Every structure is written in structure tokens, then in C-alpha cells.
Structure 1
Amino acid sequence: MSGEIATAPAGGVARMSRRVMNLAHILTQNARRHGDRPGFIWAGRQWNWKEIDAAVSALAAGLAARGIVKGDRILVHSKNCAEMFWSMFAAFRLGAVWVPTNFRLMPDEVAYLGTSSGARAFLCHGDFPEHAAAVKAESKVLDFTWRIGEGAFGETSLDEVIAANDGAQVANRAVDADDPCWFFFTSGTTGRSKAAVLTHGQMAFVVTNHLCDLMPGTTESDASLVVAPLSHGAGVHQLVQAARGVPTILLPTERFDIDEAFRLIETHRVTNIFTVPTILKMLVEHPAVDKHDHSSLRYIIYAGAPMYREDQKAALAKLGKVLVQYFGLGEVTGNITVLPPALHDPDDGPGARIGTCGFERTGMQVSIQGDDGDELEPFQTGEICVIGPAVFAGYYENPEANAKAFRDGWFRTGDLGHMDNEGFVYITGRASDMYISGGSNIYPREVEEKILTHPAIGEVAVLGVPDPVWGEVGVAVCVARDGQAVSEAELAAFLGAKIPRYKMPKRFFFWEQLPKSGYGKVPKRLVRDELEARGLLEQIAKRAEQ
């Protein structure tokens, strides 16, 4: 806890709590140094850093007057907007904890997150009255709900609070390195989402690390476009941008309008974007990429999942060598590996680092470990584990999850992969995605990469399903490119020359689209749910019995 002093063991130095910079000091710095420069641009309006700092202080004053103190959790359920950005820094300024949710979640899911986090305040976008009602009904500690934007619920709106406290001066609360600032919810690939506790000290390292490894040379002359919810990775990215006085530009609505995205890139000379592979693929394949000037782009940072090689080559051909890949879970705040632009080779020739997610981030250490926790030799497949200052403090009030997540101090990512002799990491897939067919381990990503080399296939997901003979067999769910078509037999014949027979999917299905999460990923659990809903799992089982 903040303020505690612990005695070091036998002859050591007493370990004291470490005072660190409150992350809201970033705004204080920007208001001083770049006060009249734009810091936020959205829907035809822009705010300079002095205006942003003033709005954050006014909101912080209103929250404090309503009883919010250091350590309190503030639940935020909102589409991307200016007030959501203000709410993050207002929480930090008070030493409170920002608890953002994905705005695409259902009311009962947000109610669970509000209850499990113990939130005292709820800032809810006006488009979600059902969510406000659900949180209020479920929570036993919620003190008040304020509305973001127009609507008919809540005590008041954030606009009214900010106007009422115009001119208020709120100092940044003193914080220690281990004081929480953000509950970052996991995407919940299995079971309920968990709140990963991010701290002021940890996030100061993350900001520095991102600037060092992902976008070196970033200054206030750059500009950043947001194409993902600020509740997760995009929010971390924008905190990093703010640390260098870079203006953040939002799409005007929550709809992912690719033509508008490229128009904003051209208009504001955008230099960096954070996204995920599926969204990057959509940007590259849209006609707008050829209609607008995007030569200002220096860094397109993608994460959340490895990018298939064919998609990677297409992006490099359209955009040039501006791609930056990083591997990192929310629990490590994106800080495990990096593959910079120079190592994104558009050709498959000798020396190309095909399939790697890069090397260890500055200040971080990666270990490929077996089930016993021992480190494996190069090229041996095991679990990717990591230590370093970017690793989170643990899951909030979840000792069971913490016990599973850590071993001998190493955070266990749950991802499988190997490392080569030079320290480059290669992800095989999630441990939960691997399936065993006839006693052999099958890693879906390897099969997916081969399928995507077929010119008619644009997307694919391979997963294991139960089989009475082999234990599990693979099925491939494919999406054909526009105007293209391929039969199951043709695709099987194409793939047969590229992989061993035991890795061959038993069935190939063709859908118009793959189910995606709110962050643009394709979770295998959603594909499995859709297979079941369509009666295809039952169909496969019956065929196996015949």
C-alpha cells in the first residue's frame, strides 16, 4: 500500500515506497510547453493542450466534490469521444483508477465489470441507458452515474460538470510506483474478463518503452489517428502520444469509415496509427488507399495477433516499409517483442525473418519454457514467458488467476512459440488453440498461413473439433476474396502439397465473413460458437460415426 515501509532482509537496504510522476503530469507539461498547439481533434473540432488541461481539472474537481478520492474506481462505458479522453486524465489526476470498458459489451457484461471492480462512479455514454440501469441495479457500492453526451439518465452530464467547474485548479495527486491507475480488462477469451491492474510506475515505463521501440523520434510535430476503442490498446497508444504532445485524431463516429480514415490521414498529415491485423488488412484492401495521400505515415503499429504473411506483404506493397509489429498482452501492456520497419521484408528471399514477431523489448526479458518451468533450447516450442517493468501488478482480487499467471516470477502469456539463436521470437499460437489429432500436436496458425497462400482466400480460421476416432480433427472456416470462388475439394488438393496429411483439416467451410470481437480480432471461441449454431459440429460428428 502507498506509504508503507518494509524492512529488507538480512543486511539489505530498507525498501521504501517510491514516489513517481502522476501520469496526469503529462497534461501539465503539455499545457506549459505546447499550450496553444492542438492536442485533440474530433468531429470537426479541435482542443489545444491548455483547453484539455483545463477541462480535465474541471472534471476532476467535480468528481472530487462528489467524494471521489485516491484509489476509488471510476467505471467508464463510452464510444470514442473527447470526454472519454478527459476522463482518463481526470482519474489519474485524482489518484483514482480509470476502469474503461469496450462500448460493444452487453449491459449485463458491463454490470459485472462494474461490480467486480468495485466502482464508485459510472461515466456512461448517453447511447447506453440500459447499461446505466444494469450497473446501478447490480452494484452495491456505486454512488452516482454521470452521462457522457445527450440522454435522459444520470445525475448530470460531464459537459455540465466541466462547465460548472470552469477555472478550477486541481493539483496532480501524489502517487507511488505501485499505485493503480487503470484496470485493463482482458478480452475474456475464456470465461469472464479479468481486471489487470496497471500502475503509475509501470505505465511510465510503458510510455518510455513505446517511444523508444515502436516510434522513435516522435515529437509534437507528429499526428496520430485512432481507429480502435480507447478502452484498450488504442488508449495506451494515445497516452504515449500525449507524452510527446502529439495531437490525437478520432474518427467522427464509432463506425469504421475507411474512406474517412484516409481523408483524415491526408488532411492532418498523420504519421502514426495503432491497429490490429484485421483492421490493417481492411485498410490496405479498400479502394481509398489509392485515392488519398498517405505518404506522411511513418509508423503503422499493429498488435493483438500475428499478421499472416500474405497480408503483411500486401500491406508493405501498398504502404511501404512503415509497419511495426509488437507482441504483448494487456497484462504486459504490449511490451514483449518488437519487429521494426527495417525488419519487415517484402520478399521471401534468404535472410527474411518470415513469421517472427520480433525481438525482446528494451528492458524486458523473454523465456520459452516447458511445462516444468525450465527454459527450452532454441527452436524448441514452449510457453512464452516474460519479466520486466511492463508486467502488470496482478489481477484485481483474483488470487487464483494470479497463481496461474505467474511462475517463479515469470508472467505466463499462454502463447506458444519458440526463439531462434539470435533471440527472435516466433508465435505458434495460443496454448488453448492447439489441438491433438491422433496423438500429434497441431498448431492452427501454421495451417492457416498455408491456406492463405491460395489466391482466392482472404481470411481463414482453423480449429480443432471432437472426433471419435482421432480425438480431435481440424476444420477450416474460410472467407473468399471478392469475386473469387474455390471448392472444398480444390482447396484440399491445393493444401495437400503444402502440409503433412495428419495436419490436413477434415472439412473446409466457406462463409461470407468470420465473427470478430469488438477489437477486430477473430477469437476461435466465436468461430466455434458459430459452427455450433449452424449445426456444423453435429454434422461433422455424424459423418465421423458413419
Structure 2
Amino acid sequence: MKLFNNLNDHTRFHARMRGDMMMARDSKKSLNYAEAWDYVNLIAANIQSKGIVKGDRVAILAKNSVDNLCVFLACARIGAVVVGLNYRLAAAEVEFIASNADVQMLFFDQEFDGLRGDYLRSRIGVCFDSDSSAAKLDSWLDSSATLNEVEINGDDILFQMYTSGTTGLPKGVLISHHNVLANTYQAPMATGKGGRVGEIGLVIAPTFHAVGLVGSLMGVIYGGSMIIHSDYDPVGMIETLANEHVSTVAVIPVMLQFSLAMVPNIKDYDFSELHTINYGASPISESLLQQCMDAFGCDFVQGYGQTESTMALTFLTADDHKKALTGRPELLRSCGRAVFGTEMRIVDNDGQELPLGEIGEIVAKGPQVMQGYWKNPEATAKTVVDGWLHTGDAGRMDEEGYIYIQDRVKDMIISGGENIYPAEIENHLMSHSQIQDVAVIGVPDQKWGEVPLAVIVSGGQPELSAEELTEFCRGKLAGYKIPRKVEYIAALPRNPTGKVLKKDIRTMMAEKYPPIA
């Protein structure tokens, strides 16, 4: 047997070595590693009994739970490829993904039954939590089913995760066992925050996205214990972190902001066992970081990556965050440095490497880079060129190797022939006390072609006029970068990983700012 060949080797090992230690628990179920291994094998045998073989696609349309995780591990056990379906999508979007993936079987929560279209209703269906038009998991399982062993190699596909579709139709990203194992080894080497046997992690991020899924698998790989929340609850998160001996959690900054707002007496809680809060999807402001450090008293780590890189390409470490608060605040605008075994470059439109400090597209090469897009060789060839993943993010690199994301390449604004990266403007605007959240987009302009529009969430603070905003930016941003217009909305639209959906904002603003005739 090859060392670290696949995910199953780790699950089997921990079941044998520390079978009585908790693997995962939610509000309904708790399993130790031995119980989980037996349960995974039982589910796997029953999936096989329905004719599912290695390489077939099995979808999960459900919130986080122990059962959800065990179904994933059962599919891994027999080589079936898991397709996590985002339950926040519309039914037509779910149907597109399911049919594109050739899903043969579906496990789902009853509350999402309405998202099953004709295609999914024609597949084998098993419901996690209640009787419906499909069998309920508990009654569906037949204890007499026999598991047939399947050879699983590191290059076999473990899961197929769909992009958010922000640049077109969603694409199925193929992630192998080796991709996941490599990234779960790279992360602790980069951060110094390795997984530990028995360490309790809180899982909140949805497992239909990489942060939640790979974070959960990291817990299994390192023999950790997981408390699984089905949803993000600002108060519930705080209470679990304080009362359940949690060591680590992965969030997005806005979740921290909400929790601080919802728990005004947070200083009364004891977070002495919490050592690391991991965050991603967006940078954290200096003021919010200081508030969180004061409240939680733990280390903070930021990760940057995308679906096509399994999870992480870079990390801004705990030491980097401490440096940011003691004289180097610019580091908080960085997403950190490349993880072990990963090369990163900044390139121009022709793929040529740019000098340090110049803005171009961020590209990366490493063992965590996807195997390609499902049934889409053209898109694969454009995205992975000679082994280099073209992220679609614009950024620069400094002399120490820190990456600074400027924006998505597609979100760049061209005003009067000048390239403007909205993230630079957003970072400055977020330092204003009357701005809770902000996104900057380009809108049509007769004279300049495009000009920046600031779309602001005030959070109950008095609204700033365009003139006040201009004055705040004067001397801090070049004149052509200063937003000429400002609009206020209640909340920025975001995808489940916290990324702002600028295409939705453009749609919202299209009527007021139509194309120039």
C-alpha cells in the first residue's frame, strides 16, 4: 500500500487506533471513530447495492450534519464521486448542475425537496431526516448489505464541486484524493497550526463549498473531533466556542462582525481553549481584527484560494496578523504567502512574469491544483496552462513574497484609459466609521467610459454624500480612483462563502446607470 494514498486510509487508521474518541457530533447524533467507520461501511454497502459503482456521481443536497459527512465518506470508500449541491440556489440551477454532473443518486434534507426537478426525481433518492417521496436514511439502510472492496488511487476523483457561476454557467471542478491530502498537509506547514488528535473543531461553513468540506476532511485526516452546526447562528457560534472546548473554527469576517454585534457581553465568555480563528473570502479590517483579538484572545489566520485549488494557495499567518497590529497594518490587505510546495507568479495577458510590485493575474502551480473541469476541456485548457492555474484574480507580489489581491480581473474598471482595481478603493472606504460594508463597481460614463460607483451599507450610521466621500478619499487615492457616485443598500449580496456578488450589484444598478447610447 502506498503511504497516504487516499482519504479512506486515514479514516480506517483512526478507527483502529483511537476508536473510542469522538469523530463528529451534531444536535442529533454523535459518533466515535469506530462507530463512524462501521456506519460509513454500512452506507457504502447500501449505495453499492443500488448499482452505484466507482466513478458514478452521488449528490448531496443538505445542511451540515454527521449523516452528511458520513455519506461523503461512504462515497469515498467505494470511489463514487460526491457532488455537493448548494441549497441556496434556485431549483433550475440545482437541476442544471445535477444533470451536467450525470448524478445517479441523491441524498437530501426534506426541506429542500422542492429543489428536486424532473432530473433529480428520476434518480435514486434518500432523505436524511424524514419520510417523503424518497426513503428515509435510517429505514433505507439494510444491515445485511455486503461491502465490496474497491481499489482507490490517489489520482481518483474524490469530489466534484461546482464554481459559483459568477463568470457564466457553473463548471464542475474535479478534485482528487491527492489534491485534498496535499492541501491538508500544506496548510499546517504554512501556518504552524497543524491538526491534532482529539482537538475539537467547530464546523459552520457549508460543506457544499471548499472551506466547509475540506475543513471537515482535515479534521478526519488528523484524527480531530468535530462539532457540526447546520447553520450559522451568531449567538450559537459564540456559545459553542466558549462552552464546548473548541480549539479552532473557520469563518468569514462578516460572521465575526455579526457575532460581536449580537453578543454585547462577549467579554463575559471564556475562550481560553480557542487557539485559532481561520477566515477567508475577504480581508479583515484593522479595527475588526483588534476587536476580535480583544474578545477571543486567540490567533487569527487568513487563507486564500479557490475551488480550483482544492482550498488554499496562501496563508496570512498568526505572526503576520500580530505584525499588522504592531507597525505593519498594510499586511492586512495581503492574503499572505504561498503554502509549501506551491509556486506563485504575477503574469501579464501573455502569461509573462511581471516584476515585483506590478499588477497582473495571479497564477499558481502545486499539488492542490484541480484535475480539470468536468466535460469541459476547453475551459480546462484556458485555466490550467502548463500546470499553472490562472486564478482570474488580479494582484501584485512584494519582495517578501506577500500577495496583495487587487480584484478579479473581470471586475477591473477602465476609466479614461486608466485601470482601476475596486479592492484598493474598498479597503480605504472600509476604514470610515460610517461605512459597515462596501463594494465598488464600474458604471457607464459619457466622458470617461466608466467611473467608480461606491455601493455602501451604512449599518444604521448617517449616510455620506458623494462630496463627503470624495473628501475622505482625497489625498489617499488618485483622483481618477475616487468614486464619483454613491448608492446605499441594506446589505451586499454574497455567495455562501462570503464573496460579494458584483454581478448582482451590477444588475441592481443597471436601470439607474444604463449603458451610454
Scaled to the shorter chain, the TM-score interval is: over 0.9
Distance (whole Å) between structure 1 residues aligned to residue 146 and residue 17 of structure 2: 18
Distance (whole Å) between structure 1 residues aligned to residue 294 and residue 236 of structure 2: 22
Which residue in the other structure is 2:221 paired with? 243
User: 32, 35, 40: which one pairs with 2:24?
Assistant: 40
Given the superposition, is the C-alpha separation of residues 246 and 484 from structure 1 closer, same or farther in structure 2, using an over 3 Å criterion?
Answer: farther
Which residue in the other structure is 2:391 paired with? 413
- Stretch deviating more after TM superposition (210-219 or 93-102): 210-219
Distance (whole Å) between structure 1 residues aligned to residue 56 and residue 29 of structure 2: 32
Which residue in the other structure is 2:346 paired with? 368
Deviation at 1:358, TM superposition (A): 1.0
Distance (whole Å) between structure 1 residues aligned to residue 312 and residue 235 of structure 2: 31
Q: Which amino acid aligns with 1:54?
A: D
Deviation at 1:468, TM superposition (A): 2.3
- Stretch deviating more after TM superposition (517-526 or 417-426): 517-526
Which residue in the other structure is 1:339 paired with? 316
What does residue range 101-140 of structure 1 map to in structure 2 within 5 Å?
101-136=85-120
Which residue in the other structure is 2:177 paired with? 200
Which residue in the other structure is 1:83 paired with? 67
Tell me, what secondary structure is at the counterpart of 1:305?
coil
Q: Which amino acid aligns with 2:78?
A: L
Deviations 1:8-48 (A, max 9, x none): xxxxxxxxx98962312322122112211111121164221
Q: Which amino acid aligns with 1:381?
A: I
Given the superposition, is the C-alpha separation of residues 427 and 310 from structure 1 closer, same or farther in structure 2, using an over 3 Å criterion?
Answer: farther
What does residue range 123-522 of structure 1 map to in structure 2 within 5 Å?
123-136=107-120, 143-154=123-134, 156-162=135-141, 164-165=142-143, 170=147, 173-214=150-191, 216-232=193-209, 233-251=211-229, 253-254=230-231, 256-287=232-263, 289-320=266-297, 322-345=299-322, 346-347=324-325, 349=327, 353-522=331-500
CA contact (8 A) 1:301 1:325 kept: yes
Q: Which amino acid aligns with 1:277?
A: P
Which residue in the other structure is 1:526 paired with? 504
Tell me, what secondary structure is at the counterpart of 2:361?
strand
Distance (whole Å) between structure 1 residues aligned to residue 24 and residue 148 of structure 2: 22
Deviations 1:474-533 (A, max 9, x none): 10011113455433432232222421221111211122211222233212112112223x
Deviation at 1:351, TM superposition (A): 8.2
CA contact (8 A) 2:252 2:282 kept: yes
Tell me, what secondary structure is at the counterpart of 2:513?
helix
Deviation at 1:215, TM superposition (A): 5.6
Distance (whole Å) between structure 1 residues aligned to residue 434 and residue 406 of structure 2: 24
Percent identity at matched positions? 30
Distance (whole Å) between structure 2 residues aligned to residue 29 and residue 61 of structure 1: 20
Distance (whole Å) between structure 2 residues aligned to residue 228 and residue 268 of structure 1: 18
CA contact (8 A) 1:210 1:240 kept: no
User: 26, 31, 55: which one pairs with 1:71?
Assistant: 55
CA contact (8 A) 1:20 1:175 kept: no
Deviations 1:121-146 (A, max 9, x none): 11121112222234336xxxx64111
Which residue in the other structure is 1:10 paired with? none
Distance (whole Å) between structure 1 residues aligned to residue 330 and residue 502 of structure 2: 29
Given the superposition, is the C-alpha separation of residues 188 and 313 from structure 1 closer, same or farther in structure 2, using an over 3 Å criterion?
Answer: farther
Stretches of structure 2 that go unaligned for 5 or more consecutive residues are none
Q: Which amino acid aligns with 1:56?
A: V
Deviation at 1:221, TM superposition (A): 3.0
CA contact (8 A) 1:121 1:143 kept: yes
CA contact (8 A) 1:19 1:177 kept: no
- Stretch deviating more after TM superposition (286-295 or 115-124): 286-295
Tell me, what secondary structure is at the counterpart of 1:400?
helix
Distance (whole Å) between structure 2 residues aligned to residue 477 and residue 352 of structure 1: 24
- Stretch deviating more after TM superposition (309-318 or 37-46): 309-318
Given the superposition, is the C-alpha separation of residues 41 and 356 from structure 1 closer, same or farther in structure 2, using an over 3 Å criterion?
Answer: same
Tell me, what secondary structure is at the counterpart of 1:128?
helix
CA contact (8 A) 1:373 1:407 kept: no
Deviation at 1:415, TM superposition (A): 0.5
Tell me, what secondary structure is at the counterpart of 1:472?
strand
Distance (whole Å) between structure 1 residues aligned to residue 446 and residue 388 of structure 2: 38
Deviation at 1:321, TM superposition (A): 5.0
CA contact (8 A) 1:19 1:176 kept: no
- Stretch deviating more after TM superposition (205-214 or 481-490): 481-490
Which residue in the other structure is 1:55 paired with? 39
Q: Structure 1 length as normaliser, TM-score?
A: 0.89
Q: Which amino acid aligns with 2:464?
A: V
Quote the RMSD (CA, aligned, Å): 2.3
Given the superposition, is the C-alpha separation of residues 354 and 203 from structure 1 closer, same or farther in structure 2, using an over 3 Å criterion?
Answer: closer
Stretches of structure 1 that go unaligned for 5 or more consecutive residues are 1-16
Tell me, what secondary structure is at the counterpart of 2:183?
helix
Q: Which amino acid aligns with 1:157?
A: K
Distance (whole Å) between structure 1 residues aligned to residue 56 and residue 354 of structure 2: 43
Given the superposition, is the C-alpha separation of residues 76 and 502 from structure 1 closer, same or farther in structure 2, using an over 3 Å criterion?
Answer: same
Aligned residues: 514
